[in-house]
Amino acid sequence: MKTKSILTTIFLFLAFTIQAKLPEHPCLLLTQKGIEKIKAQNKPAMLFNTTLTQIKNQIYPILKQPIEVPLPKDAGGGYTHEQHKRNYNNMYNAGVLFQLTEKKEYAEYVKKMLIQYAEMYPNLPLHPIQKSNYRGKLFWQGLNECVWLVYTSQAYDCIYNYLNPKEREFIENNLFKPDFSIIFIMPPQKQNTPNTDSKNSTDCLPDAIIALDKPSVLPQINENITLRRIMAHHI
């Protein structure tokens, strides 16, 4: 509980001190200036080109496949658990490729998947299997949910300007805000077995806050600061 109190204080401080200027998107993993520098290089580093080609070859076939956002039911290693992990990695990679190549097919892939998650997430119960004191909705422990949030928020940042205002509002209100509420607001769920995780799920919240970038996603802290401002300003 002490950790939560400290985090709440930090969130409130940031909510009222990081509102003045909203930077351009993307602003988390990538920045507009950084992308321009990469594109301006006539001969990018060989390692960069090799890595970029590998990611393109990995993602391109996936773009042609149906998007799978299954109802969560499996523990770690099970199909739904691993599929949600693949999804956040694929969204992340596709978002980066969209920024570096400007090909809309990458952004469209991320958008469609985010919308599918936003359609499903509000009505999901907590995960049916509990490993630790904190369950997510997509995963059996909150730590997995936090990692998903970090990758997914960075993908969202990469395609932010590709989305129209209604699409952004739908994704923010139905996916990111409820996800933060589950991770941060919900008290520990009692279980019969001790928590064997060495890291409490809330410990990853600073990473998620850096990725989303403002604390106002927490509805009871400040409803007037929108999630797009959380996304907008990298700490």
Percent of the chain's residues with pLDDT above 90: 45
Q: What is the CATH number of the domain that holds 106?
A: 1.50.10.100
Rounded Cα–Cα distance for residues 23 and 128 (Å): 40
Q: Which two tokens stand for residue 159?
A: 């395609």
Question: Which pLDDT belongs to residue 195?
Answer: 39
Does residue 19 lie in a domain region?
no
| Averaged pLDDT, 191-203 | 43
Contacting residues for 72 by C-beta, under 8 A, at least 6 apart: 80, 81, 84, 124, 127, 128, 137, 138, 139
Q: Do 59 and 93 form a contact (C-beta atoms < 8 A)?
A: yes
Does residue 113 lie in a domain region?
yes
Does residue 235 lie in a domain region?
no
Confidence of residue 192 (pLDDT cuts 50, 70, 90): very low
Does residue 139 lie in a domain region?
yes
Among 46-55, 104-113, 225-234, name the one with the lowest average pLDDT.
Answer: 225-234
Question: How many structural domains comprise the chain?
Answer: 1
Does residue 7 lie in a domain region?
no
Task: Find, among 152, 156, 182, the residue nearest to 169 by Cα.
Answer: 156
Does residue 192 lie in a domain region?
yes
Question: Which pLDDT belongs to residue 185?
Answer: 60
Average pLDDT, the chain: 76
Confidence of residue 198 (pLDDT cuts 50, 70, 90): very low
> For residues 77 and 234, which has the higher predicted lDDT (pLDDT)?
77
Does residue 111 lie in a domain region?
yes
Question: Which pLDDT belongs to residue 131?
Answer: 79
Containing structural domain, residue 52: 27-214
Confidence of residue 110 (pLDDT cuts 50, 70, 90): very high
DSSP string for residues in 30-72 = --HHHHHHHHH-SS--HHHHHHHHHHHHHHHHHHTSPP--PPP
Among 64-78, 91-105, 194-208, name the one with the lowest average pLDDT.
Answer: 194-208
Question: Which pLDDT belongs to residue 113?
Answer: 98
Question: Which pLDDT belongs to residue 51?
Answer: 86
pLDDT in tens, 117-175: 999 999 999 999 987 777 889 999 888 988 898 899 999 999 999 999 999 999 999 99
Q: Does residue 10 have a pLDDT over 50?
A: no
> For residues 97 and 20, which has the higher predicted lDDT (pLDDT)?
97
Does residue 185 lie in a domain region?
yes
Rounded Cα–Cα distance for residues 221 and 74 (Å): 33
